[in-house]
Amino acid sequence: MTPTTETMVGIGGAAESTDMVLNIGPQHPSTHGVLRLRLVLDGERIQHAEPVIGYMHRGAEKLFEARDYRQIIMLANRHDWLSAFSNELGVVLGVERMLGMEVPPRAVWTRTLLAELNRVLNHLMFLGSYPLELGGITPVFYAFREREVLQNVMEEVSGGRMHYMFNRVGGLKEDLPAGWAARARAAVAAVRSRMDRFDDLVLGNEIFRGRTRGVGVLAPEAVHAYGVSGPIARASGVDFDLRRDEPYLAYGELRDTLKVVTRKEGDCLARFEVLLEQTHNALDLADACLDRLAELPPGPVNQRLPKVLKAPEGHTYAWTENPLGINGYYLVSKGEKTPYRLKLRSASYNNIQALAVLLPGTLVADMVAILGSLFFVVGDIDK
């Protein structure tokens, strides 16, 4: 933290104190990554807040223009390193839409299953790290234990631990290993059986509730103004989820299982509660996908592609309900093997802007509680 005090000389020659400018970062202010916050303080109260980003910018959107449609998947799955499978998914859906390609049913259901398992992995990280930022160390150990259980089945099916590279244009890399579905079902059941730990350890903790209830209230008007999405928006009463409202993959057939979790309070506690309930529902969706896959006859999981894949000239926009919010992919093609332009709309980029209206008027002591409750990944901001 780098404080800067500014003074001005009054009429009598005495110095009058003015607001203090406090720089937090760009070293890690929390577990999320390299971010800088420029705060203007009046005593202990924040008057103005400016999130300063770009310290780990990797230029993925420009690199998309120099890689073919197979290679861009590797670039696109890394910006939110907790949601790699979901990131890959948006890119291949956009390219498939440009090609007018239909994906085999087995691939559709497998993609849906893995997307929900990836959602649980993402949420478990924040369910553990957010209490850690407020001084509660125990939940993060439970969160990582449950992550390891699911991470094992994701690693078995894809070969990758963080960056799965399992999606392909036209389907998936390969079919599921023999016996994997039973192991995945056992992993989901094991994680579900222990999820009440977060209710007991976190939501049942009066210190946690005291630090989060009524703190950092985000109004629905601000959600719409800044384009905030995902659990953050739904915690403020904005009832929107692409999986229900504009279904893709197999979500249209999962309406009975899919539950869109909302709250009205819009505070830090509501955002944590939405994340926790959404994790429970993602486990239910994973079970439903496993049931459907068991009923499907054996079949292909991808389409045969030409050696050089070229998308026809034109443009399209695909969007997905990623774990952290809405991801959008605007693809422009000139008929070549590389995109002419691929613009990525990442959830964290919009969500973090809400700090400009969330922090003013609050105490410095509440800053970390509010910051952590936005559940962002800095790579998802800087891309």
Per residue in 173-208, pLDDT (tens digit) is 999 999 999 999 999 999 999 999 898 889 989 999
Tell me how far apart the alpha carbons of residues 202 and 199 are, in angstroms, rounded to a whole number.
6
Q: What is the mean pLDDT of residues 34-59?
A: 89
What is the DSSP-derived secondary structure letter of residue 337? S
Whether the predicted model's global pTM rises above the 0.75 cut: yes
Whether residue 262 is predicted with pLDDT greater than 70 in this model: the reply is yes
pLDDT at 3: 54
Q: 201: how many CB neighbours lie within 10 A of its CB?
A: 17
- Mean pLDDT for 137-160 is 94
- For 283-320, how does the pLDDT look when each residue is reduced to its tens digit (9 = 90+)? 999 999 999 999 999 999 999 999 999 999 999 999 99
Looking at residue 220, its amino acid is P
Cβ 188 vs Cβ 283: under 8 Å: yes
Q: Say which range, 13-17, 30-34, 171-175, has the weakest mean pLDDT.
A: 13-17
**pLDDT mean across residues, the chain:** 91
CA angle centred on 140, ends 137 and 143, rounded to 5°: 155
pLDDT exceeds 50 at position 8? no
Between vectors from CA 354 to CA 229 and to CA 144, what angle results, nearest 5°? Answer: 65
pLDDT by residue (tens digit) across 265-283?
999 999 999 999 999 999 9
Measured from the Cβ of residue 127, the count of other Cβ atoms closer than 10 Å reads 26
Q: Partners of 172 in the beta sheet?
A: 167
Does residue 80 surpass a pLDDT of 60? yes
Taken in order 310, 166, 82, 351, the sign of the CA dihedral is positive
